[in-house]
A and B are shown apart, each in its own frame.
Chain A
Amino acid sequence: MRASASRSRRAVRRLRIALLPLPGQALALTVLVAVLAAVVVSVPLLVGSSEEGSWERERARRTTAEIGTTFVSTTIADPTDPEPPRASLAGRLDDAFTETAAGLGLDPPRSLVRVRDTAFIPTPTGLNRLLLFSRTGAEENVDLVAGAPRADAVLIPQRLAELTGLGPGDVLTSQASGGTPVELPIGGVYTEPALPLTDYWSGQEALLVQPRYRGLDDPVHPTAAVIAPRALVLEIADEVESGLFLEWFLPLAEDLDVDPARSAADRIDRLRAALVTPRGDVTRAAAAGNLSPPAPQSRLPAALGTVDRTVELLVPPVTAVGVGGALAALVLVGAWAGQRVRRREGELRALLVRGLSPTRAAGIALREAVLPTVVGAAAGGAAGRLLVRWLGPSADLPDGVATWAGTALVIGAGAVLVTVLVVTAGAVRQMDVVGRRPRRAVPWVAVTAGVTVAVGALVLTGDRDTRGDVELLPLVLPLLATVVVAGAVTALLPRLGRRGRARLGRLGPAPFLALSRVAAGRGAVRLVVVTTALALALVVQAGALADSAARTIEAKATVAAAGDVVVPILRRVQDVGPSPEGTTVVERAAELNLTPGGLTVDVLAVRPGDLTDVVRWDPALSDRPLQELAAALGDRSGDRVPVLLAGPFPGDLGAELVAEFGRVYAVPVEVVGRVAAFPGQTTDGPLLVADRDGFAAAIRAAGRDPETFLDQELWARGESAPLLGALTAAGWAFDPDQVITADDFAARPELNARTWSFGHLRAVAALAGLLGLTGLALQAVAQQRRRAAASVLLTRMGMGAGSQHSAAALETGLLAVLGAVLAVAVALPASALLVGLLDPVPDVLPGPLFAVPWGTLAAVAGGVALATAAGALLVGRAARQVDGGRVMRDAQ
């Protein structure tokens, strides 16, 4: 028993010696691999999360009716047909449709069959239009106040029941437009669904919402939606010789992820194909019943298209950042492998002189790297998943992403092991070579400077971003510039140190020691400053790009959506009285000729007094406040119409101009201000913003009717749904599809892709910054170990431990601050240059705006302070652990 336990212990020890001989070294590799793994898996995970998140946003923006698919068909009127097909044949089409859908695995559609021709019901308050229809499940989705559904009777709305005094058991009498009487036995009375309609009734506003066609010449009759069994609807249609309107609604299930949504779209596509098959049941039934082939209407393909476009835009920058981050992490893994060889140089040399081959040494390193790599990969993968889950666009992921992420993780782990193998073999091979002729050092600063110039030239002279794509090359430019400047500055440090030697001598021991060590500018100082500057430059750059993108998107949103909602008004029905409270009506004219100068401009005519309450204003649009611009627009003291020039106008344009619409009218205008863009500007071309009344008066003065030439829009703040409801109720006529909201702009794929990709860059940069500052602190400790003998000597010469610790802390702080200052000084202006090249939505003004990332800069400052404090603590601890006698013995 005891022998068995001993054997087990020995086996465990052998395993530990083989796999984990030095836990400290293994821990460092584990952390690096975890970072690499998190970066690597972040690519597929973020892309997947963005796909899902984009879908969720699109789904949330659409109503049930919009995102579902509706197939419609109607009777094709043929006046030459002496005996049109019987309406009951439409039932066959309905059945054939339902069977075809079921055959493709789709849920049974909600079939609606409605008598198309108008019939009227007399009531004490006048005629009501009869809307007789059947819909699958309609009876179960209304609240009955009297009676019950019956196979031979209809359900009438409560309003109609109260008007006519009819109820269950009575007969509703109506008259079709041809004079044919219609008698409908009443089975029950239901309460009209309240607005907003439930998901079941979504899209059926035409049946259930009373029409308000104010402004039209046609009389307006209230409608009465009468629910009937399908057989009864078909029978009545035959009786009155009416055409039919058929509709099949295939709802998309709630909370559906993107993959099931795609599957649903595929099934709908197959259904659509099946419906138009020449010999199919549906085609034959439609032809027999003289009905049009069922045609689909859905926003699902558009929503999925937006998702695809978002992913398409997101993949290149996220992949670039992920691959770049992974390569950087691999470089650090290589540095770890090199450091491992260095730290275990004695052990390796002892083995080399006994015939150990570099390959075998690399094999040992590989064996020791396996466990940290596996643990690090697992931890990093899990951390990446959690971070994307918490901070990503969606907590859920599409199918296949986990496999993709797992594959990326395995490849990353494999790359780590190969890197350890190759670097160790190379380092050990170098160690094994004696007396080789020295190689000339590569002037890396000059080489990097050359590469930077070349990249800069390519970026500045290349094609500008016109599709919202983010290229890799511009992203590396600030980093290259930082490396070059940091390398050059650290190369100058020794010269500065020599010049300032006299002044350094007047300092106390601790600052003298710290400054003289930094000023020596040795390899370690250069390495620390350059890597710290590079890591922090990435943080600064990511912060600048992300903040600037957010700032740009915010400014563009104010221009694209004016206020929150823009409702284009139908020109024919504009006589509806004043606009609702908190809204304003603006007018537009397109393609006027501006003289002198011959520019083609659009005109936006606004009421200056309404602007400040309605439009969103961004200070980036002008250096003058909106109130001041509005006051200038509203100043009618002159004989010209005051205008603002918005967008790209030549700088030498005069103040007094004339806007001409062909030879139809000409409006003399006076320029009272310039703005980069104006809310409601729909193109990136030049726009004149004028006082609406003044502009209309000028057109009238030219003998023309302004209403003929100007399109109207209503601008408002707040949610669109209540506003549109209020407008509908007030009789405003508009096309809901033309309504623009701030949410529509925010949902553009370019913006989501840009925001998410820069968020990813920011996360990777934060990891890089963290690693850089951690490396700085650990380098301080390693430096302390290397200087152990010097430290003992300084102690023996009378320099106190406190002064030495202060010197070490000051040195670490100086290196960190130098790195941070270089990062900010180079990366910030370089990023500002870069921001100008990265316009997420070039067709919407204003152009890209730069925002100083104050939060990021504060984080960098905090990180530098923390790293310095941590370095000081670790250095102090390392110094206390030193055995002075042993150090001096080893140093001999």
Chain B
Amino acid sequence: MPSEAVAARCDGLVRIYWSPSGEVHALKGVDVVVPTGRITAITGPSGSGKSSLLRILAAQDRPTAGHAEVAGQSLAGLSTRRLRALRRRSIGYVFARPSQNLSPQLTVREHLSTAARLRGTKGDDAAELLDRLGLAHRAGHLPAELSGGEQQRLALAQAVTGGPALLVADEPTSELDSRTTADLLEAVRGLARAGTTVVLATHDPLAAAAADRVVHLRSGTVAHEEVAGRRLAVIDGDGRVQLPEDALARFPDRRALLEVTDDGVVLREPT
């Protein structure tokens, strides 16, 4: 695999939450690499750790253990203030529901100017973004006057205002129909082509198909990755391999014979 520039990297990521019923291990040693200028999709069933991983990649949370690096900055030891500054400077975020991303009292144009102010830029790219995302003719409209797809495109626009290093989107197409989803994904691809790194958490096969890389999580670990149509197992720095589910089903006793050959590494059921 050729070496790529990396927008975010996670090594052995562990995240533990505390609840009244005890500790919850959301991430159990996740290794993920997010290449720059590409779309990375994170998929997995509910409770697999998508949201936890996404929050860490979006610098909203710190890992309990392991190493996370976003936009060239390690999250370890970052104060809340610096974490916030990192978000402001380098990360755009899009929630699943359009209404979660927008302020009902602001017009499209005002959303972009507010986002630019928050990022500390002058918002010079607003017109270009509106044009690219097909919202130029809706600049003076309030969110309630926009369709769901337009609202989500506006959310994308305000998230990438000022050119953040990473755009993180949590189920951005979950509220949209297939046609609108296709439009939105085209807009996302356009952003990626323009150099924006995108990380999506999604259940949507269309969204996953639009990604350059798909990271599939299972029970807080990476089950496998798909790159260019190939399914890859992930090996962490300590040599641990996460088997895909169908492969795991072959080893009911959780034990395997390992053979290293010239062609590769072979796992067999012990006889």
Question: Which residues does A use to contact B, with CB under 8 Å?
Answer: 17, 21-22, 346-347, 349-357, 432-438, 889-890
Is A437 in contact with B87, judged by CB distance below 8 angstroms?
A: no
Bound form: Cα–Cα A433–B91 in Å: 18
Is B89 in contact with A355, judged by CB distance below 8 angstroms?
A: yes
Nearest-CB residue, chain A, relative to B16: A435
Interface members, chain B 76-103 (any A CB < 8 Å): 80-81, 84-89, 91-93, 95, 97, 99-103
Is A349 in contact with B95, judged by CB distance below 8 angstroms?
A: yes
Nearest-CB residue, chain A, relative to B88: A355
| B residues near A433, Cβ cutoff 8 Å | 80
23 contacts between A and B (CB under 8 A): A17-B110, A21-B103, A346-B100, A349-B95, A349-B100, A350-B93, A350-B95, A350-B100, A351-B118, A355-B84, A355-B85, A355-B91, A356-B84, A356-B118, A357-B84, A434-B55, A434-B60, A435-B15, A435-B18, A435-B61, A436-B18, A438-B19, A890-B99
Residue B7 at the chain A interface, CB threshold 8 Å: no
Nearest-CB residue, chain A, relative to B20: A438
| B residues near A351, Cβ cutoff 8 Å | 118
| B residues near A355, Cβ cutoff 8 Å | 84-89, 91, 118-119
- Shortest B176–chain A CB gap in Å is 12
| B residues near A890, Cβ cutoff 8 Å | 97, 99
Is B118 in contact with A354, judged by CB distance below 8 angstroms?
A: yes
Query: Besides the contacts A17-B105, A353-B95, what 14 more A-B pairs have beta carbons closer than 8 Å?
Result: A22-B105, A346-B95, A349-B95, A353-B60, A354-B88, A354-B118, A355-B86, A355-B88, A355-B118, A356-B88, A434-B55, A435-B15, A889-B175, A890-B99
Residue B17 at the chain A interface, CB threshold 8 Å: yes
Bound form: Cα–Cα A180–B93 in Å: 118
Residue B115 at the chain A interface, CB threshold 8 Å: yes
Is B89 in contact with A354, judged by CB distance below 8 angstroms?
A: no
Is B110 in contact with A353, judged by CB distance below 8 angstroms?
A: no
Q: 0/1 per residue, B107-126, Cβ < 8 Å to A?
A: 00010000100110000000
- Shortest A168–chain B CB gap in Å is 93
Is A438 in contact with B87, judged by CB distance below 8 angstroms?
A: no
| B residues near A435, Cβ cutoff 8 Å | 15-18, 61
| B residues near A352, Cβ cutoff 8 Å | 60
Residue B106 at the chain A interface, CB threshold 8 Å: yes
Residue B185 at the chain A interface, CB threshold 8 Å: no
Q: Name the one of B16, B58, B104, B175 contacting A353, with C-beta atoms under 8 angstroms.
A: B58
| A residues near B175, Cβ cutoff 8 Å | 889
Q: Name the one of B17, B80, B91, B100 contacting A432, with C-beta atoms under 8 angstroms.
A: B80
Q: 0/1 per residue, B48-79, Cβ < 8 Å to A?
A: 00000001001011000000000000000000
Is B15 in contact with A21, judged by CB distance below 8 angstroms?
A: no
Is A353 in contact with B93, judged by CB distance below 8 angstroms?
A: yes
Residue B159 at the chain A interface, CB threshold 8 Å: yes
Is A354 in contact with B87, judged by CB distance below 8 angstroms?
A: yes
Bound form: Cα–Cα A357–B99 in Å: 21
Q: 0/1 per residue, B12-36, Cβ < 8 Å to A?
A: 0001111110000000000000000
Most buried by A among B61, B84, B87: B84
Bound form: Cα–Cα A106–B3 in Å: 102
| B residues near A432, Cβ cutoff 8 Å | 80, 84
Bound form: Cα–Cα A314–B101 in Å: 55
- Shortest A371–chain B CB gap in Å is 15
Question: Which residues does B use to contact A, with CB under 8 Å?
Answer: 15-20, 55, 58, 60-61, 80-81, 84-89, 91-93, 95, 97, 99-106, 110, 115, 118-119, 159, 175
| A residues near B61, Cβ cutoff 8 Å | 434-435
Nearest-CB residue, chain A, relative to B159: A354
| A residues near B159, Cβ cutoff 8 Å | 354
| B residues near A349, Cβ cutoff 8 Å | 95, 100
| A residues near B17, Cβ cutoff 8 Å | 435
| B residues near A21, Cβ cutoff 8 Å | 103, 105
Bound form: Cα–Cα A406–B170 in Å: 52
Across chains A and B, the number of contacting residue pairs, with CB separation under 8 Å, is 70
Nearest-CB residue, chain A, relative to B17: A435
| B residues near A436, Cβ cutoff 8 Å | 18
Is A438 in contact with B103, judged by CB distance below 8 angstroms?
A: no
Query: Which A-B residue pairs are the 10 nearest by beta carbons?
Result: A355-B88, A355-B87, A353-B93, A435-B17, A437-B18, A434-B61, A21-B105, A346-B100, A347-B103, A355-B84
Is B118 in contact with A17, judged by CB distance below 8 angstroms?
A: no
Nearest-CB residue, chain A, relative to B168: A353
- Shortest A12–chain B CB gap in Å is 14
Bound form: Cα–Cα A432–B84 in Å: 9
- Shortest A753–chain B CB gap in Å is 51
Bound form: Cα–Cα A432–B17 in Å: 15
Bound form: Cα–Cα A438–B104 in Å: 33
- Shortest B12–chain A CB gap in Å is 18
CB-CB under 8 A for A354 and B106, given A432-B80, A434-B60, A435-B15: no
Bound form: Cα–Cα A352–B95 in Å: 12
Bound form: Cα–Cα A17–B105 in Å: 7
Bound form: Cα–Cα A889–B95 in Å: 15
Is A438 in contact with B60, judged by CB distance below 8 angstroms?
A: no
- Shortest B86–chain A CB gap in Å is 8
Most buried by B among A346, A354, A435, A890: A354
Q: Name the one of B60, B88, B91, B99 contacting A346, with C-beta atoms under 8 angstroms.
A: B99
- Shortest B188–chain A CB gap in Å is 18
Nearest-CB residue, chain A, relative to B105: A21
| A residues near B86, Cβ cutoff 8 Å | 355
Nearest-CB residue, chain A, relative to B97: A890
- Shortest A892–chain B CB gap in Å is 9
Bound form: Cα–Cα A346–B97 in Å: 10
- Shortest B107–chain A CB gap in Å is 9
| B residues near A354, Cβ cutoff 8 Å | 87-88, 91-93, 115, 118-119, 159
Bound form: Cα–Cα A158–B32 in Å: 122
Most buried by B among A21, A433, A434: A434
Bound form: Cα–Cα A793–B33 in Å: 44
Nearest-CB residue, chain B, relative to A355: B88
Most buried by A among B80, B105, B110: B105
| A residues near B15, Cβ cutoff 8 Å | 435
Nearest-CB residue, chain A, relative to B58: A353
Is B18 in contact with A438, judged by CB distance below 8 angstroms?
A: yes
Most buried by A among B58, B89, B103: B103
| A residues near B115, Cβ cutoff 8 Å | 354
Bound form: Cα–Cα A437–B19 in Å: 7
| B residues near A437, Cβ cutoff 8 Å | 18
Nearest-CB residue, chain A, relative to B99: A346
Bound form: Cα–Cα A21–B81 in Å: 28
| B residues near A347, Cβ cutoff 8 Å | 102-104
- Shortest A41–chain B CB gap in Å is 33
Nearest-CB residue, chain B, relative to A350: B101
Bound form: Cα–Cα A346–B110 in Å: 17
Nearest-CB residue, chain A, relative to B102: A350
| B residues near A17, Cβ cutoff 8 Å | 105-106, 110
| A residues near B81, Cβ cutoff 8 Å | 357
Nearest-CB residue, chain A, relative to B161: A354
Nearest-CB residue, chain A, relative to B95: A350
- Shortest A300–chain B CB gap in Å is 63
Nearest-CB residue, chain B, relative to A20: B105
Is B99 in contact with A353, judged by CB distance below 8 angstroms?
A: no
- Shortest B204–chain A CB gap in Å is 14
Nearest-CB residue, chain B, relative to A437: B18
- Shortest B224–chain A CB gap in Å is 27
Most buried by B among A351, A355, A356: A355
